[in-house]
Amino acid sequence: LKKNLANVTLEEWESIPNVVQLTSRPKKKTQQNSYLPAPDSVLLSRLQESNKHLNINSTTTPLGTQTP
């Protein structure tokens, strides 16, 4: 059998199916759609960063929230 492999043409070689093509088992689904929630600490820090312009206290404005 091995001696006859030397006489195989390129077309014949490429027509041999791969082992993967012969298995009848279904392919496993990849875990690309897995979901890992962000920790609360990350969510809170992002919320605080995005709302910095809303923080008004008496140290940043002389009158605090009072209108002149």
At 14 the three-state DSSP class reads helix
Chain-centroid distance, C-alpha 5:
45
Name the nearest CA neighbour of 13 among 23, 26, 4: 4
pTM of the model: 0.31
> pLDDT tens for residues 31-54?
666 778 889 999 899 888 887 777
Cα Rg of the chain, angstroms? 34
Alpha-carbon distance 18 to 4, whole Å?
19
pLDDT at 40: 92
Are 40 and 32 within 8 A, CB to CB?
A: no
Lookup: tokens for 11: 């077309």
